[in-house]
């Protein structure tokens, strides 16, 4: 059960989402404008915020930036367009995840659960587990299906970065900045190459992915294939 803020101007969606999530035991507050949403979001009362991007009074990305500048509350953005450059922009602007309209309350709830799981994870946790992948950050050691995995330093950093955000789509721009410590500049082939090496070591391929799911033009996420 979570305390959820919904920022959505479409009254029909707002009411149906609110009641569906409330039926499932969540404590839900819903507002219809970006300004009311930002005001509520920064109250510190909510576990997670669902932010519609098409709001009448403020650009959704602008609202996201305002929320992000004040609070670390997880934000899931809801967008009407399955527009890759827009999604990348939002992930870069600090969105924790996104849903594309139309989406069901069940789908949204699954995303919220994943976001909440991540945000409540102990920050000092030094062993990351995603499915059969176990990463010991202190020992810089990875085990996969109970055997030790031989990774280069960069592969390790990349895998650990993804494993710290299980299920979350991260853009190549983020990876380049956080793992390679480089500004974005068309160097994403480097990331592709490292992902393909990692995939090989995890016994999968781009054609038959299990743990490493990529979406062209958007980014990559590490998932547990058994959940």
Question: Which own/partner pairs from 123-128 qualify as long-range (CB within 8 Å, at least 24 positions apart)?
Answer: 128/160, 128/163, 128/164, 128/166
First to last CA, the chain: 20
Question: According to the binding rule CB under 5 A, does residue 60 interact with Ca ion?
Answer: no
Question: According to the binding rule CB under 5 A, does residue 99 interact with Ca ion?
Answer: no
Taking CA atoms, 141 is separated from 165, 204, 222, in Å, by 18, 20, 18
For residue 9, the minimal CB distance to Ca ion (Å) is 5
For residue 75, the minimal CB distance to Ca ion (Å) is 16
Question: According to the binding rule CB under 5 A, does residue 32 interact with Ca ion?
Answer: no
Stretch that binds Ca ion, among 46-54, 129-137, 139-147, 205-213 (CB under 5 A): 46-54
| 9, 92, 109, 178: residue in contact with Ca ion (rule CB under 5 A) | 9
Token code pair at residue 76: 């899931």
How much of the chain is helix, strand and coil, in % rounded to 5? 40, 20, 40
| 47, 52, 97, 157: residue in contact with Ca ion (rule CB under 5 A) | 52
| 32, 54, 94, 209: residue in contact with Ca ion (rule CB under 5 A) | 54
Question: According to the binding rule CB under 5 A, does residue 13 interact with Ca ion?
Answer: no
Question: According to the binding rule CB under 5 A, does residue 84 interact with Ca ion?
Answer: no
**Which of residues 53 and 159 has its CB atom nearest to Ca ion in the complex?**
53
Stretch that binds Ca ion, among 6-14, 100-108, 130-138, 168-176 (CB under 5 A): 6-14
Under 8 Å between Cβ of 160 and 170? no
Chain residues binding Ca ion by CB under 5 A are 9, 52, 54
């Amino acid at each position: 059960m979570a305390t959820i803020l919904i920022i959505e101007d479409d009254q029909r969606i707002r009411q149906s989402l609110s009641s569906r999530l409330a039926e499932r035991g969540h404590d839900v507050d819903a507002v219809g404008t970006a300004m009311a949403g930002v005001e509520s979001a920064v109250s510190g009362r909510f576990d997670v915020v669902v932010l519609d991007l098409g709001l009448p009074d403020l650009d959704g990305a602008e609202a996201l930036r305002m929320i992000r500048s004040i609070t670390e509350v997880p934000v899931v953005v809801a967008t009407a367009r399955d527009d890759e450059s827009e999604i990348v922009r939002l992930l870069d602007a600090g969105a924790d995840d996104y849903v594309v309209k139309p989406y069901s309350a069940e789908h949204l709830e699954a995303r919220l659960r994943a976001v909440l799981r991540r945000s409540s994870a102990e920050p000092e946790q030094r062993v990351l587990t995603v499915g059969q992948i176990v990463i010991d950050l202190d020992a810089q050691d990875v085990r996969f299906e109970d055997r030790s995995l031989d990774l280069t330093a960069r592969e390790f950093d990349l895998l650990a970065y993804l494993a710290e955000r299980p299920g979350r789509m991260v853009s190549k721009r983020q990876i380049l900045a956080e793992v390679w410590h480089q500004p974005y500049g068309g160097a994403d082939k480097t990331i592709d190459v490292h992902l393909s090496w990692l995939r090989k070591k995890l016994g999968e391929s781009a054609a038959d992915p299990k743990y490493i799911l990529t979406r062209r033009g958007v980014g990559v996420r590490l998932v547990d294939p058994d959940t």
